[in-house]
Every structure is written in C-alpha cells, then in structure tokens.
Structure 1
Amino acid sequence: MVTIPQAVEMVVKVKPFLSEALSDGLINISALARKIKPDIEKIISKEAKHGAIVMALNRLSPQVNFSINKSIDKMRTMLGDIIVRSDLTDCTFRNSKTLIRCHMKVIESIAENPDIFYTLVRGVHESNLVITSYYSELVDKFFEKEELIYKTENLSAITVKLHENNSRIPGFYYYILKSVAWEGINITEVISTTNEFTILVNDEDVDRAFSELKKMKRPGKLYNI
C-alpha cells in the first residue's frame, strides 16, 4: 500500500519546477497541500488528511534541496564553452528511401567549407535538417522531390560543450532546458551528440537564452534553476 509520504514524493517529482521551488521555500506548503490533495487521494485510494500532506511536504523539502544542489554542483563542472551560431534554417522532411541520397549531395556540396552549420537527424517517421540560411538553397535544390513537413528561418543555435561523463548525471539535460524555459524562451529544436548539446531558438531570443545558460557556470546560487 502506498503511504501519504510516498504519494507526495511521487506527485512532486512529476510536477515541472515544483521540486526546485519547494526546496527554495518559494511555495506556501499549506496551499500546495490543498492543491495536490486530490492527486494524493487518487494514488492512495482513500481520503488524506490535510495535516498529513503538509507534514510529508515539510519532510520532503530538505531531501529535495540536498539532491538538487548535489546535482547542480556536479553539472557545473561539466559545462564547457558555449558557442552561438545565428541565421539558420530548420526543415523537417518525411522519411523516404531517397532522403539519405539528398543529404549526401548537400554534404558533398559543403564539404570544403567547415564553417557551415549543418545537421541531419533521422527519426522514425521524419528527418530534421538545420543549415546555415545562406546555403539553404542547396536543400531546396537537392530535396525538391521530398515531402517537406515544416520549415522555419531566422533561428540561432546555442551549443554547450559537455564533459565526457555528463550522461552519468540524472536530470542533466533537464537543468539546461529548464533554465531557458523559466525565462519563457521557446526552444524550436534540440540536437545532441555525446559531448555537445545544442538548442535552437528564434534569433530575437538568442541573447536571453545565452545569458541564462552562461549563468549556470557561475558560482553561487542559481535562482532560475
């Protein structure tokens, strides 16, 4: 049988930003207890007393604070240089038997210019392509017979170089994405390799997004995390 403390922990863990706000003392515990009471009762399949939920939240807060601070400290040591590339175009195509051939034609055309930003990520049903806008005509040319699902321009890429052990930290990417989301910045695409993590944002948001990511490397308390 699930206890009230266990149910409270389950609810807090799945609520975006709730655990961090709780650890920072930014939430009225009594009001939160009333808010999550229906969720708690659904999990334990019986009525839960308000006081019991409050007590469980108070006990959970120090644990959350320790876990979060420990993860953040580890994460900071794994953030390397932050690189910004602007004026990009993002295209999404339906997967086909000829899509890779189109991709190879673009690669051959830009092979002599290493400064061009170009990525292709193949999913189950569609593939996403990001290229420096100046060369987007190559995509129009070589992918003209492919099914274009989505296209947007005026984007910027922010790439964070990571430590080789980044994948061993639970929630590592969550902290990066959350720092941007808290500022109301829309992330249009996410591109990841083993030691690099890239987000695409609108050109008008790139300065704010860069500023937030840079804050993550500074010592001291991260109020937006």
Structure 2
Amino acid sequence: MVSVQQAVRVIVEENPLYMVTLLSGIANLSAIAREIKPLVESITGKEVNLVTIVKALERLTLRKTPISVKELGEALERAEVVIFNGVDEVELNLTDVERLYESHVLMELLKGYSILLTDGERIKLIAPVTALGKIVNSRNGQEYSLVRIIFGERAPVGFVTFLVQLARASGITIRHMLRYDNDVFIVVERGYAAAL
C-alpha cells in the first residue's frame, strides 16, 4: 500500500512545475493539494483528506532546500555566462583514449573547453566539432552548445536542481549538466542555449 506522503512525492517529482514552485518558496500548498488530490487518491486507492496532502507537501518542502527566487537572481547577476557553439560528443573506447593520451592529442583537446566523462565502462568526450574532427572520423552529426555558468563564489544550494526543473517546465532538453566547484556546465541543443 502506498502512503499519502509517497504518492505526493511521486506526483511532485514527476511534475516540474510543482517542483519549481515548491523549491522557489512561493507555493500555495492548499492550491497544489486541491490540484493533486484526485491523483493522490488514485495512487493510494482511498479517499484522502486535503489537510493530509497539505501536511505531506509541507514535509516535502522541508526536505528540499527552498531557494528564494531573489537569491537565485542575485547569484545569477554576479555569475558570468559563456556559451560555446559547435560542440559535439563522441563515445570512445579505452584503446582510443590511450592512443590519444600517448600522442598528447587528448591533452591539447582538454586545454580548451572540452569535457571528458566516464561511468567506468564508457568514455564520452564533449569538445568543439573542429577538434573532434582531428581525432575521430565518425560523429553523430548533431551540434550542441556548451553553456558555462561561472559563479564568483559557490553556486547556491539547489541551483542545479532548480535549473533542471525549470528547463523541463520550459520544454528544454538538457543533454548533460555538470557542476564542478564554482562552475555549472550545461550541454544543450544549439537552439536552446540562448533560451537557457
């Protein structure tokens, strides 16, 4: 049996608009509770009191770190945003990486705005199309943009989550989003870079 708390959490996490509203700290919990009540009852299989849903939303909001829109705005005002167009990604095998490393081509690539990702089995290289053309013949043909947000100090807590939810609510597909120290790197389709 699914609890009311679990049902509310699933509904909120599946709907980016609810998540953004709750994270922003400007949510009318009663209005959201009225809106999601039929879904909660459907998931739990029983009639649920509106106050119970509001309490579940309050608990969920307390667990998530609320970000004020003002704090985000201030942080973004102080941040530098750089957009690199003409970026692509290729998947490399370990022998390719070893060959590139030994020939120092990989080190030259990584001096620019390239990103090397691995999950232990696969290795992806995100780099300018012109640079990738020097090392691999086959590309996927899709050009992306790399958006780099550079914060003077540490990025606000929850910024990446907020940005992901905002992008989902806006219909923007994020290919990769990485946070490293004070920087946030976002790889998106070229047309979405300016909107982001």
Unaligned 5+ runs, structure 2? none
Provide the residue aligned with 2:53 in structure 1: 57
User: 1:119 is matched with which residue: 111, 115, 120?
Assistant: 115
Q: Does 1:38 align with 2:27?
A: no
Name the amino acid aligned to 1:32: I
What's the % identity of the aligned pairs?
Answer: 11
**TM-score scaled by length of structure 2:** 0.72
Change over 3 Å in CA distance of 1:77–1:66 after alignment to 2 = farther
Change over 3 Å in CA distance of 1:159–1:89 after alignment to 2 = same
For the residue of structure 2 that corresponds to 1:137, the secondary structure is helix
My pick for the range that moved more, 173-182 or 102-111, is: 102-111
Distance 1:3 1:156 in 2: 42
- Native 8 Å contact 2:155 2:183 kept in 1: no
Name the amino acid aligned to 1:154: E
Cα RMSD after superposing both structures = 3.6
Provide the residue aligned with 2:127 in structure 1: 131
For the residue of structure 2 that corresponds to 1:117, the secondary structure is coil
User: 1:195 is matched with which residue: 182, 188, 191?
Assistant: 182
Change over 3 Å in CA distance of 1:163–1:176 after alignment to 2 = farther
Q: Does 1:154 align with 2:143?
A: yes
Provide the residue aligned with 2:164 in structure 1: 177
Q: Alpha-carbon deviations, 1:25-45, whole Å to 9, x = none?
A: 79664452111213234xxxx
- Native 8 Å contact 2:143 2:190 kept in 1: yes
Q: Does 1:15 align with 2:11?
A: no
My pick for the range that moved more, 70-79 or 195-204, is: 70-79
- Native 8 Å contact 2:88 2:142 kept in 1: yes
Unaligned 5+ runs, structure 1? 42-47, 210-225
Change over 3 Å in CA distance of 1:108–1:68 after alignment to 2 = closer
Distance 2:10 2:143 in 1: 39
- Native 8 Å contact 2:9 2:60 kept in 1: no
Q: Does 1:81 align with 2:80?
A: yes
**TM-score scaled by length of structure 1:** 0.64
Name the amino acid aligned to 1:138: K
- Native 8 Å contact 1:190 1:199 kept in 2: yes
For the residue of structure 2 that corresponds to 1:207, the secondary structure is coil
Tell me which structure has the larger Cα radius of gyration: 1
Distance 1:90 1:174 in 2: 23
